[in-house]
Structure 1
């Protein structure tokens, strides 16, 4: 008579340490099922020991404990699976106005999306099929949904669904899809008139701590998704060592690059962070953002012009920054062509003033942000940045040969997606107005990367550039320049077509692309290396080193001062003559050029 109560007590004693009564079974996993099996085995063992101790009942078979454990585990698991099926039947019911969707992507992201849909009581989407990235998964099923093929089969799959009257209302991209594969999906979607959206990030789809996941909300595909740039591993520990407990100053902090530098530096825990910019509103914005996101960081926002030598010197003497990121610049090529003297004063003289002030107060390292337009420049903007590179290289060479203490690290890269004054925001504004999208030339090409990636690599270069000499690439000993690996250049007209398609429109039909001709100082193709700068890889992915072409710091400094004198007196002819003498590869093309070296 005591066998049944004994079995119940044994199960309770076994299940309590494993917290089975508290398990949130709606989110059950393999570990939870193993816990159930373990509890059943422990309960069977306790029950058998109790029978032997008290002699209440003799098991009919020596294998009884094993049979008892298996039956108990089966009953426990069956009860929970029945509950799961009931919950899935109710939670997976799509709302009456749910859209048919075709799910495309890697198995892990697809599985997360399907689980999130099953938990959404008002699921706005009804999955009618899946396209996988792997051929061996085709023909199988995932959570009851058919895997209709791979991404390469998308045209045939959409044709088949259209024939069945089940063409999806939207194509949903799970994680793992970018570059050419994403292009193929967009092409097929464009052909069938089906919009494409991205699934939420996996971190928002997966519930944590037994909590319900948030509502499944799709987002548009961004132009960044099409770059197909692999994630570069970064030395986060080295970056932290570089920044932590140091006084850091960022010039141009209100700009795209300077602002992202400020964000990433603030996250690394500096002793203090000084934000310097001559634009009041942009400086206010980045200061407010950092105050909200990193209230623990000691900050100071300073309105100042890098061309004001007395002001910059006083500021540096007061703050004594240990690490300076110099991102302040005039970067818009046609604007600088219209006002070349302003470009020379800001880009060349401003860099000399900041570098001199930093070295005078014992700054450990200054990092100068350069541009691919400094290579074989055809614009005043590019030539002024090359002149600034030369000064920083000369400073760095002196430091590495014992003639100074401040490292001066130059980092050169191409265009950043979405930066102020760049082509992506321009295209977005033109799309909002219904077009046309203006492109200067059908063959115009540029290098692109995201601002987050660019700044991450700038910080990585800063770590490498400040390491001990024995661990340093040999080219850096003589003022070598870090160059970010930008991948393959992108045709601007292709970028325009992609953005039109991402907006759900058709290029040349819904939105016109208009060619306007090259602008002053513009080149068809930008270059990352001069002909005499042989690129050398480093052990750090994404970073290359340009073999240096150096000059004497005092000589370059005097020449910059002479150019600044001519600029201040309003004499562009003399200023540009001096610039051409210092940067012999400068071939000014005020009407734009289709030639490149």
Structure 2
């Protein structure tokens, strides 16, 4: 049971009154002194409970300020569930800790759920990279929309096993197949598409860790570029009605190999979408920024560092990123996929999710420290370690040369990015496949640079190339 000491009116309008004998105190900036007074009387507060929705609270006060006060006073910060979400009137009310998502949350986008349900319901859906953070959440959301069957493809056996087990328990009536395969295996991918006959393919398989792909560029090129081509070619060959490629803001003016390989993959899908001979299959690309809590993302790393007592490492005081939650990103991918362009001139466009405002990584670290009940720079230190190979201070969701337009779907914009004719991109990919087969790092990087001219290679890549050159001599 909860013993309520006081009710805080963050605007201070009802200060001095009482509700059922419980004093109303406020405003928010007086909260530290109010808490000290209670403690002096031997009634130390242990938690602050937020009883209203974040949006309501934010109209009059700052949630960040509340988080800061809670951290300074070493109090737990909890919130009430949305009463409208409760299953029954006498259900037990569970208090939950405020999470980073609650601080970063944006106004929820209104989705055209009818369109999304019609696209998935009764269809065979295949997801590559289904064990990954985006692929698995896409699989969860698709499974809820009554597909005829769901084909989960991943190269990681354990990740595939986990998502298959989870979905089989949740949706025992849906046919779910787990298929172990790497998108690099051209014939195997073609065989899977032929056997399972998907109507839709969500292509989320990729290598995405920037410094790792920087160190092993051939691996990134093979999975991200060639792998995408393998899936796209299989989709066309077996008349899949739609392939949706999950891309990234790192593909815009890429400063790293990972981003450049994703831009190359985008270009292949664009060329396929624009070609008259491919009209049996639509090829769509959806680009978004960082997702909170994905494997290898900054939040789990910060949480580990906080648990260990710090320091929390940030590469640069000014570095910013766009953030959105995984479920939100996946919902918008589904919304973009359900967008049906009417005109031929809408083909080949890249869908860009509206990611809101960029967030400073240092602020993110500070908020996480506060949410753990500690004080940044006092209890837990923040250390700046310098930008990593291929890392930019800020990401862009579209190039200045890409004209942006509204799609009619909220939260989703479309960029008309530079495209190459299909015959040309096919020759480039054939040549790239040869470079990959020969493990010719230098040649592969030169070809990547000429295909994606806006790619600015970092010093580590020149090092990789000179190392490759000396090994070959």
Report if TM-score (shorter chain) is over 0.5: yes
Match of 1:448 in 2: 323
Farther-moved stretch of structure 1 (559-568 vs 356-365):
559-568
Match of 2:377 among 508, 523, 533: 508
CA–CA distance in 2 between the matches of 1:417 and 1:183? 18
Q: Out of 159, 162, 165, which is 1:282 matched to?
A: 159
Query: Could you say which residue in structure 2 is the equivalent of 1:394?
Result: 271
Q: Deviations over 1:514-543 (max 9, x none)?
A: 222111111111111111013223332211
Quote how far apart the aligned CAs of 1:195 are: 2.6
What is the aligned partner in structure 2 of residue 60 from structure 1? Answer: none
User: 5+ residue gaps in structure 2?
Assistant: 462-473
- Secondary structure at the residue paired with 2:338? helix
Show structure 1 runs of 5+ residues with no match. Answer: 1-122, 593-597
The CA deviation at 1:235 is 1.1
The separation in 2 between residues aligned to 1:255 and 1:566, in whole angstroms, is 28
Deviations 1:152-206, CA, capped at 9 Å, x for gaps: 6545644654566545221112231266721010122233333312234536767
What is the deviation of 1:446?
A: 0.8
The residue number in structure 1 matching 2:342 is: 469
**Alignment-derived partner of residue 4 in structure 2:** 127
Q: Whole-Å Cα distance in 2 between the matches of residues 175 and 563 of structure 1?
A: 56
The change in CA–CA distance for 1:155 and 1:177 in structure 2 (over 3 A counts) is farther
1:495-529 residue CA offsets vs partner (Å, 9 max, x unmatched): 11111111111112222222221111111111111
Paired with 2:44 and 2:460, the residues of 1 have a C-alpha distance of: 51
Q: Distance in 1 between matches of 2:244 and 2:298?
A: 26
Whole-Å separation in 2 of the counterparts to 1:154 and 1:130? 11
State the shift of 1:338 in Å: 1.1
Report how far residue 242 of structure 1 moved. Answer: 0.3
Contact 2:72 2:374 in 1 (8 A): no
Matches within 5 A, 1:19-30: none
* 1:250–1:325 Cα contact (<8 Å) kept: yes
Partner in structure 1 of residue 91 of structure 2: 213
Which one has more relative contact order, counting CA pairs under 8 Å at least 6 apart?
2
- Secondary structure of 1:438's counterpart equals strand
After superposition, the CA RMSD in angstroms is 2.2
> Could you tell me which residue of structure 2 aligns to residue 332 of structure 1?
209
* Residue from 246, 267, 273 that aligns with 1:369: 246
What per-residue deviation string (whole Å, max 9, x for no partner) do you get for residues 379-436 of structure 1? 10000000001111111222xx575221111100000101001111111122222222
For normalisation by structure 1, the TM-score amounts to 0.73
Q: 1:294 to 1:512 in 2, by over 3 A?
A: same
Q: Name the structure 1 match of 2:72.
A: 191
Contact 1:439 1:516 in 2 (8 A): yes
Say yes or no: does 1:577 pair with 2:450: no
User: Matches of residues 396-435 of structure 1 in structure 2 within 5 Å?
Assistant: 396-398=273-275, 403-435=278-310
Kindly indicate whether residue 346 of structure 2 is the aligned counterpart of residue 346 of structure 1: no
Contact 2:12–2:28 at 8 Å: present in 1 too? Answer: no
Within 2, Cα distance between the matches of 1:318 and 1:249?
11
Q: Normalising to structure 2: TM-score of the pair?
A: 0.91
* Counterparts of 1:236 and 1:152, CA distance in 2: 42
Aligned residues: 457
Determine if contact 1:247/1:323 at 8 Å carries over to the other structure. yes
Could you say which structure has the larger radius of gyration? 1
Using the TM superposition, name which of 159-168 and 355-364 deviates more: 159-168
Question: 1:134–1:272: structure 2 CA closer, same or farther, 3 Å change rule?
Answer: farther
Tell me, what secondary structure is at the counterpart of 1:514? strand
Residue 304 (str. 1) matches residue 181 (str. 2): yes
Equivalent pair of 1:478/1:548 in contact (CA under 8 Å): no
Q: Is the 8 A contact 1:478 1:550 kept in 2?
A: no
Higher alpha-carbon deviation: 325-334 or 128-137: 128-137
Query: 1:561 corresponds to which residue?
Result: 430
Residues in 2 aligned to 1:200 and 1:329: alpha-carbon distance in whole angstroms: 36
**Secondary structure of 1:469's partner?**
coil
Q: Residue 523 in 1 paired to residue 398 in 2?
A: no
Structure-2 separation of matches of 1:204 and 1:456: 19
* Kept after mapping to 2: 8 A contact 1:326/1:366: yes
User: 2-side partners of 1:186 and 1:353: how far apart?
Assistant: 48
CA–CA separation in structure 2 for the residues paired with 1:170 and 1:430: 24
Q: In structure 1, what is the Cα distance between the partners aligned to 2:282 and 2:191?
A: 21
